Structure 1
Amino acid sequence: MDPLRQLQSLQLENRQAVVARVAELLTERGQQQAILEVRGQKLTVNLPADGPELKAGDLLRIMREGQSLTLLDKLPPAAETRLGQALIRHLPWQQNLDTGLSQLMNALSAGFKAPPGPGSQPGSSQPLPTTVREALQSIARLLPQVSGDTGGLILRPVQAPPATGISSSPLAGLAAPARPGLDAEGVRQWLTNSGVLTEARLAKGTLEAAPTDLKLALGRLALTLLQHQNLGADQFTRFTPLPSHELVTAPLQFPSPTTAPLGNADGGREAASPGQMLRLLAGMLNRITVNQLHSQLLTTRSGAEGAPQVNTLITDLPWMAPGGEVKTAQLRIDYDKPEREEKPENRRAGVSEWRLNLAMDLDEAGKVFFDVALRQNALSARVWAERQATARQVNQELGALRSRLTDLGLEVSELECRRGQPPTAATRLEHRLLDTRA
């Protein structure tokens, strides 16, 4: 198609301005050109020699003047573009929190891998420095502990005094839980300390001096390891993050693929070197950062083009299983608060809605998935269980659950359990992850 017909196909009025996206830069016979995406169509234009420096993904404001186009200005990156660019940098370097934290907890019993040298044997280890052990135990204290001593799984907060020396178990020195179970306030604190709200809490000045935030606690451990290696904090970026394979192949899938069991924490795993632990920490911090950026990107996109904004939060909630192995619950919360309608007949349309998706892999029950929606006092919930026995047991309890929810004043519209997994849409890394539509 010749340039004039391309221009006419855009159906622009004379002196009408429009936003275009730079899809590709070209050089044709010494002339700089750009392929622009305008209103869903591609248009090849010559660039002025004195124009701004451009790159693929930039947004431009152009205006039709007769049978030509004039470049008005280059637009600053949109919020979605900045978030997408930051997200894409971290995606390939994510480490699952369950495998990463399990290996860190293993260091409490295994110590450091002894450096090669005269007299050192392959696979030998050395005790952890006191500062490193204390930093590890600070992380362990943040993790609720799963206990099956009452016939069921109960999440309990771990209270841990400092321990010294290498012990036979990574949980040595951790005292018995002080409370009988993790109540609603405990769950709230668990979510708050997951690391996904770190920067928001820092901005508000609500973080305590104690390392109660997982992201900060991992950062403190990294700093302690660097100091042990006589390295400054700026050297942390020199350590290549250690990624999890499933997070490379499916970086934004929710729920993400679960990792294979690591086995008993008391044996079968070698000690890690300080360098390996730093690479592991870099990968876990990337995982938390990806969840933060992904949450912000989904929230920003939902309010585009005048649509109601839905606030989204995605995070991993780790807990400590018996024996020191760490597992995670994958959580997504969506909060839709439409603008309030003034007309009485439209007021219901402005009611806020909460939606919760939770995925867990339990030793006895297997993989279970929850999808809960709450709109005013109307609640609907679906549960999926991979194992037949788990699905049967959940179905047997649904009647009692419905009664308890009704007693709370909730109108239960749907409550069911199915076998299998919920349908999920694969997240694709398209150009819209990196830039805004024109």
Structure 2
Amino acid sequence: PLPTRLLGSFDGENDLEHLLRLASAAVSRLQSHQLSSLEQSGLSEDGKVLTTWQLEIPMRNQQDIVPLQVRVQREDEPEDSKKQQAEQPAQQREPLWRVELAFDLDPLGPLQIQAQLLRGSLSGQLWAQWPATARLIDSQLDSLRERLLDSGLAVSDLQCHQGTPPQGPRTQLEQRWVDETA
């Protein structure tokens, strides 16, 4: 679907040229998303193996299509460390999973979610930029906690904050990874 700001610009002779540029930008965006969703592996500062999958999923919200940005990360002990720790119980060698979501849904506004899962225990932080949305989410956290417990997860921490998450040395989830007018 074409963004509303682009639809108003169709007004005559250059419509075909404009549509071709939009189609080219859409193909470029699709190719970029396919490349960025490939598995990426690296090492963290403390030597742990990080495997990251990153993708953007189109999601329908009433008449609009909005992107849902997803980053899934698995943190494992390095192979050398696994051999040294072979005596430890398997529970202590389980990977740490992180999931980050970012989206902007009308009427809730921009939301970001960060969750971690380790040994069946889930912790999560939610950030809503709008105060009313943060209050609404905060009022529903107990219900979310109950549903997660019913699904078999141990919930150690769930919090909602107003604003945006603090950014460390890693890259934050952006509104758009690729400019649609490229």
- Give TM-score, length-normalised by structure 2: 0.73
- Name the structure 2 match of 1:299: 40
1:389 matches 2:132: yes
1:416 matches 2:159: yes
**Identity over the aligned pairs, expressed in percent?**
29
1:306 and 1:378, CA in 2 relative to 1: closer, same or farther beyond 3 A?
closer
1:331 matches 2:70: yes
Structure 1 segment 15-54 matched on structure 2, within 5 A? none
> Conserved in 1, the CA contact under 8 Å of 2:36 and 2:55?
no
- Name the structure 2 match of 1:273: 15
SS of structure 2 residue aligned to 1:318 = strand
1:398 matches 2:137: no
Q: Pick the aligned partner of 1:372 from 112, 115, 119.
A: 115
- CA–CA distance in 1 between the matches of 2:30 and 2:48? 27
- CA–CA distance in 1 between the matches of 2:2 and 2:23? 12
TM-superposed CA distance for 1:269, in Å, is 4.9
TM-superposed CA distance for 1:391, in Å, is 0.5
Give the AA of the match of 1:342. Answer: A
1:356 and 1:304, CA in 2 relative to 1: closer, same or farther beyond 3 A?
closer
- Name the structure 2 match of 1:351: 94
SS of structure 2 residue aligned to 1:374 = strand
Give the AA of the match of 1:277. Answer: L
> Conserved in 2, the CA contact under 8 Å of 1:310 and 1:335?
yes
Q: Deviations over 1:177-202 (max 9, x none)?
A: xxxxxxxxxxxxxxxxxxxxxxxxxx
> Conserved in 1, the CA contact under 8 Å of 2:102 and 2:111?
yes
> Conserved in 2, the CA contact under 8 Å of 1:318 and 1:329?
yes
SS of structure 2 residue aligned to 1:354 = strand
1:398 and 1:306, CA in 2 relative to 1: closer, same or farther beyond 3 A?
closer
**Greater per-residue helix proportion:** 1
**Greater per-residue strand proportion:** 2
- CA–CA distance in 1 between the matches of 2:46 and 2:148? 36
Give the AA of the match of 1:334. Answer: Q
1:311 and 1:281, CA in 2 relative to 1: closer, same or farther beyond 3 A?
farther
SS of structure 1 residue aligned to 2:126 = strand
Q: Pick the aligned partner of 1:313 from 53, 59, 82.
A: 53
> Conserved in 1, the CA contact under 8 Å of 2:114 and 2:125?
yes
> Conserved in 2, the CA contact under 8 Å of 1:378 and 1:413?
yes
- CA–CA distance in 2 between the matches of 1:304 and 1:405? 29
Give the AA of the match of 1:343. Answer: E
Give the AA of the match of 1:299. Answer: Q
TM-superposed CA distance for 1:295, in Å, is 5.1
- Structure 2: which 5+ runs fail to align? 172-182
- Structure 1: which 5+ runs fail to align? 1-100, 104-261, 428-438
- CA–CA distance in 2 between the matches of 1:321 and 1:353? 32
- CA–CA distance in 1 between the matches of 2:147 and 2:158? 12
TM-superposed CA distance for 1:274, in Å, is 3.6
Give the AA of the match of 1:286. Answer: S
Q: Pick the aligned partner of 2:103 from 360, 369, 382.
A: 360
- CA–CA distance in 1 between the matches of 2:46 and 2:166? 28
Give the AA of the match of 1:313. Answer: W
> Conserved in 1, the CA contact under 8 Å of 2:44 and 2:50?
no
SS of structure 1 residue aligned to 2:10 = coil
Give the AA of the match of 1:328. Answer: P
Choose 1 or 2 for highest CA Rg: 1
Residues matched between the structures, number:
163
1:306 and 1:356, CA in 2 relative to 1: closer, same or farther beyond 3 A?
closer
- Name the structure 2 match of 1:117: none
